[in-house]
Amino acid sequence: MSSTAERKEKNCLNCNATVQGRYCHVCGQENIEPREKFRHMLTHFVFDLFHFDGKFFRTMKYLLLRPGFLAQEHLRGRRMDYLHPIRLYIFTSAFFFLFFFMVSPSMIDGKMDLGNKTIDSTANLKKDSAQNELIKFDRQFLNLKQYDSVQRNLPESKRDGFVVRKLQRQNLILKEKYPSSKVLISKILDVFAHQFPKMLFVSLPLFALLLYILYARKKQYYYADHVVFTLHFYSTVFILIFLAICLNMVLDWTGVYVISGKEGKNFLNGAMRSEYVSLVIGFYWYRSLRNFYGQSRRKTILKFALQLFINMLVFSILFLLFFLFSFMII
């Protein structure tokens, strides 16, 4: 409670409702004098800071160590001690992608750094250095003007369809703008990397919808309950990948190798590699389903496998759509 003097007037300065007590029953604003001393402002700042930190660290503790627990707490109505799922998702996703784009400048160069390996993303897309087109079509054109001229002279039934025409025109536009295939692919990957947060956000309600279908026989869950579960799961994925990246950076920086392998790297130095992170995320995913929905181990494994397979298909489609979108807006 604030130590600022309470106003003698009983009208709320925020909503003008009649106040009974120190707080407005309509909007919740404290009915205190509007002119605040610096000491009171500092007190509020310290209180709010530690209040947020208390919620944040408590949320992180249960989020990482007790899969599915926070979603259960939210369902039971115990919410004051933890960050709201939406606020948690916004904070973790914003922090993760800000951090990721800061430490991964190699994405701009068309390369992805995975642990101790550097993979040139153009290797699979260009084998011949003379090839300078991203998309191959049956007919090759020198420039956009030539393509439009050929299309106009063709009978309407033999012209390219809407989708092919859009892709072909964009391909020729980019071919003129970026003669080098490597530069073009780097630009597309850079745009796609910045579209990735949007892709995850679009996938979130689809992920929750699949849970709603898989657990439809358990009538006690609303769709919003599955959304809460999904928000907590996505937030955990951001944190786990962030921790893996940090671990890999620390090990590379210190050069400490405890258990050497063929390449002089210990198993911890592979923590950022996708296979290790995927195993950790997969186990956490399974434990979350088991703890939150409370079904048997056999049913949970079956539904986990089914959800994993379907989500791979969904993410593949979203990946393709957002990659084409990145290609079209570059």
Asked if the model's pLDDT at residue 52 lies above 90, the reply is no
| Cα distance from N-terminal residue to C-terminal residue, the chain | 53
CA-CA distance, 260 to 270, in Å (whole number)?
Answer: 12
pTM of the model: 0.70
Of 203 and 275, the one with more pLDDT: 203
DSSP string, 73-133: HHHHT--TTS--HHHHHHHHHHHHHHHHHHH-GGGTTTEEEETTEEEETTTTT-SSTT---
pLDDT tens profile 258-292:
444 444 444 444 444 567 888 999 999 999 999 99
Task: Give whole-number Cα distances, 324 to 180, 197, 205, 306, in Å.
Answer: 19, 16, 22, 27
List C-alpha distances in Å: 317 to 55, 145, 232, 306: 37, 32, 24, 17
What's the mean pLDDT in 209-214?
94
d(CA 238, CA 244): 10
* pLDDT value at residue 111: 42
* pLDDT value at residue 274: 65
Tokens standing for 132?
A: 């300078």
Question: DSSP of 268-316, one letter per residue?
Answer: GGGTTSHHHHHHHHHHHHHHHHHHHH---HHHHHHHHHHHHHHHHHHHH
* Residues 141/169, Cβ–Cβ less than 8 Å: no
Largest CA distance in the chain: 84
- Note the pLDDT tens digit of each residue in 68-91: 999 999 999 988 889 999 999 999
The answer to whether 192 and 318 are in contact (CB under 8 A) is: no
Element (H, E) at 207: helix 181-214
Helix, strand or coil for residue 23? strand
SS3 159: coil
Identify the helix (H) or strand (E) that includes residue 208. helix 181-214
Q: Can you tell me the distance from the alpha carbon of 104 to that of 96, in angstroms, rounded to the nearest whole number? A: 12
* Burial class (CB within 10 angstroms; exposed 0-12, middle 13-18, buried 19+) of 138: exposed
Q: What are phi and psi of 114, to 5 degrees?
A: -120, 100
pLDDT score of 191 more than 80: yes
- Can you tell me the distance from the alpha carbon of 8 to that of 21, in angstroms, rounded to the nearest whole number? 11
**DSSP assignment letter at 27:** T
Q: Across all residues in the chain, what is the average pLDDT?
A: 79
Residues 6+ apart with CB under 8 A from 40: 2, 3, 4
Phi, psi of 273 (to 5 degrees): -60, 145
* Tens digit of each residue's pLDDT (9 = 90 or more) over 125-176: 444 443 444 444 445 677 788 888 888 888 888 888 887 888 888 888 887 7
pLDDT of residue 258: 46
